[in-house]
Amino acid sequence: MMPVCAPSAKTQTAPASPVEATSVVPITATPLTNINQSGFVYCVNGVVDSFNPQIANGGVLVDTISAQLYDRLLDVDPYTYRLIPELAERWETLNDGATYRFYLRKDVPFQTTAWFTPTRNLNADDVVFSFSRIFNQEAPYHAVNGGRYPYFDSMQFSDAVKSIRKINDYTVEIQLYKPDASFLWHLATHYAPVLSAEYAQNLTRNGIQENIDRQPVGSGPFLLNEYHPGQFIRLYRNESYWRGSPKMQQVVIDLGAGGTGRLSKLLTGECDVLAYPAASQLSILRDDPRLRISLRSGMNVAYLAFNTSKPPLNDVRVRHAIALAINNPRLMQSIYYGTAETASSILPRTSWAYDNESTITEYDIEKAKQLLQEANVTDLRLHLWVPTASQAYNPSPMKMAELIQADLARINIKVTIVPVEGRFQEMHLSDDEHDLTLTGWATDSNDPDSFFRPLLSCAGIDSQTNYARWCNPEFDRLLTEGVTSQDLAVRIETYQQAQKILAQEIPVLPLASSLRIQAYRYDIKGLVLSPLGNISFADVYREKPESNRK
């Protein structure tokens, strides 16, 4: 996928999380302070609302946790960006891309947890159950915990998938109504885990279907052991993992500190890995001989979304005026410190569909004032919603918001910053209260459809991934044309036309495409940083000091 306090108009209370500490059976485990003998601590700032990425809209679950708990049919090689087998040993594309047949691995066990003991290995029933839940509105589990699947809903997959059927215990066929060249890439995202159908049946018998998303059962390298909201998640290794037992007994994902607090934990050894350190912290990290840093280009973009359904932001002149007033070079210098490049398209430059003729929005205060005058807009007051947590695409969203606030004040636009946390932002965007939202998107798919359709399609409005609430039938037509063609040249031309529409209409203002950054202790080995999202921790280990080696 993936990568979201109250609105100023009225006081609101954040909704209760569907995952509570009491919903997970705690297991006595090694205290956090002694974990360096048996595992490592991964520090990341974020909120976890569920343990099933099917119903997530990005964030820590999709970017970090999902790869530990679950497997998918397909994976993406972090070095070549090619699709590779995971639970599907191989696959076939039939009917010019309208039918896909998957041949599953045998002898893949599901995890044995404190809340479920499987009696069989993974088979076609599990694949059919997992995707029927998403695509089939009549499936028994479709409506459980709200019936929203933001990533796939924004792709209109419920309307695209004709059937999912089991051919035999280890063969599954998915038929689409029409060819879709991006389909396999969507199945390789972390939004598409394979769940246990047997576990779902067990929950149904006990009348607790909602636990499908709260107490996870996957086939991944680690299983959930403890969860303390806002503090930490403890994962234990899956001793029966089909690829071999992970090298570390446990992983603790520390959610409890942001900003300099996480940096301090890394420096003192309380954290072994720091995800998304602020770019301003890199000089400190580089100067510490106990630390290592990994940097890679990422499939991500930070952007400012205009609520195009509200006046005066429904006027393209006002949107262009705001874009002209934002000093992007200052954002790049003050937020990223050389770890990102200015975005001139919603697609990162690493995408094969990127339009090289895309131009960077200029910084021109006088022209911005002129456009506002032409639109007869004066003394404009706007509310800017801003996530509080750092993200792969934006290490300091609040600081960026303050810089944008100062820029817009120069053209007499007063911006009130509204900090938001977790899914609270998503849940209220549909109320049409926001004017602007500072957000972004990171995906583990190399297909441009995974950017365009969730963020800017008409369907993305209902799935609450299109924060601009922008619907353009011609743009949607181009997206459909782009996925139905198997000719790469045709797809590239189609997506470049789509980018030209976005440059003219500017429903969102692309700001930056960031490098993915991780800092970690020198003795942590086997940690791979992928441009497409985080990957399994199964091969991570702690190198023993020379004096302890045999």
Please give the Cα distance from 540 to 536 (Å, whole number).
9
In sequence order, what DSSP letters do the residues of 25-84 get, joined into one string? -------GGGGGGTEEEEE-------S-GGG--SSHIIIIIHHHH---SEEE-TTT--EE
Q: Are residues 379 and 434 in the same domain?
A: yes
> In 3D, which of 482, 464, 459, 461 has the Cα closest to residue 156?
459
- Position 19 in a domain: no
- Position 106 in a domain: yes
The contacts of residue 382 (CB under 8 Å, 6+ apart) are: 313, 408, 413, 414, 415, 416, 435, 436
Q: What is the pLDDT of residue 432?
A: 62
Integer distance in angstroms from the first to the last C-alpha of the chain? 43
Residue 403 pLDDT greater than 90, yes or no: yes
Q: What angle do CA 188, 49, 394 make, to 5 degrees?
A: 70
Q: What is the pLDDT of residue 12?
A: 31
- CATH number for the domain that contains residue 124: 3.90.76.10
Residue 280 pLDDT greater than 90, yes or no: no
Residue 440 pLDDT greater than 50, yes or no: yes
Q: Any bridge partners for residue 109, and if so which?
A: 121
- CATH number for the domain that contains residue 252: 3.40.190.10
**Domain end call among 167, 191, 214:** 214
Q: Are residues 193 and 208 in the same domain?
A: yes
Q: Are residues 284 and 333 in the same domain?
A: no
Q: Are residues 95 and 115 in the same domain?
A: yes
* Cα–Cα distance list, 330 to 61, 86, 236, 411 (Å): 32, 43, 44, 17
In sequence order, what DSSP letters do the residues of 8-29 get, joined into one string? TTS---PPPPS--GGGS-----
Please give the Cα distance from 12 to 322 (Å, whole number).
29
Q: Are residues 317 and 286 in the same domain?
A: no
> In 3D, which of 245, 221, 218, 223 has the Cα closest to residue 236?
223
Find where tokens 């599953």 sit.
Answer: 104
Q: What is the pLDDT of residue 217?
A: 98
> Regarding beta strands 222-228 and 250-254, do their DSSP bridges make them parallel or antiparallel, or are they unpaired?
unpaired
For residue 441, the surrounding DSSP H or E stretch is: strand 436-442
- Position 409 in a domain: yes
Q: Are residues 449 and 526 in the same domain?
A: no
The contacts of residue 210 (CB under 8 Å, 6+ apart) are: 18, 144, 145
Please give the Cα distance from 413 to 416 (Å, whole number).
10
Q: Which 3-state string (H, E, C) describes 272-321?
A: CEEECCCHHHHHHHHCCCCEEEEEEECCEEEEEEECCCCCCCCCHHHHHH
Higher pLDDT: 5 or 406? It is 406
Q: Are residues 191 and 237 in the same domain?
A: no
| Domain ranges, residue 364 | 300-514
From 90-104, 375-389, 444-458, the region with the lowest mean pLDDT: 444-458
Residue 418, φ and ψ in degrees, nearest 5: -115, 105
Q: Are residues 528 and 505 in the same domain?
A: no
- Position 544 in a domain: yes
Looking at the structure of the chain, the number of domains it has is 3
Helix axes 365-374, 316-325, angle to 10 degrees: 160
- Position 330 in a domain: yes
Q: Which 3-state string (H, E, C) describes 366-428?
A: HHHHHHHHHCCCCCEEEEEEEECCCCCCCCCHHHHHHHHHHHHHCCCEEEEEEEECCCHHHHH
Residue 537 pLDDT greater than 80, yes or no: yes
From 98-112, 124-138, 474-488, the region with the lowest mean pLDDT: 474-488
- Position 313 in a domain: yes
Q: What is the pLDDT of residue 549?
A: 52
**Domain end call among 196, 214, 232:** 214
Q: Are residues 548 and 445 in the same domain?
A: no
**Domain end call among 152, 187, 214:** 214
> In 3D, which of 446, 24, 7, 436 has the Cα closest to residue 216?
24
Contact 474, 35 (CB under 8 A): no
340-371: pLDDT as tens digits: 989 999 999 888 899 888 876 789 999 999 99
172-224: pLDDT as tens digits: 999 999 999 899 999 999 999 999 999 999 999 999 999 999 999 999 999 99
Q: Are residues 195 and 263 in the same domain?
A: no
High-pLDDT (> 70) share of the chain, %? 90
Q: Are residues 207 and 118 in the same domain?
A: yes
Q: Are residues 400 and 460 in the same domain?
A: yes
Band (pLDDT 50/70/90 cuts) for residue 92 is very high
- Position 30 in a domain: no
- CATH number for the domain that contains residue 442: 3.10.105.10
High-pLDDT (> 90) share of the chain, %? 65
Tokens standing for residue 128? 């059919």
Supply the mean pLDDT for the chain: 88
- Position 528 in a domain: yes
Q: Taking residues 448-461, report their average pLDDT.
A: 92
Contact 56, 50 (CB under 8 A): yes
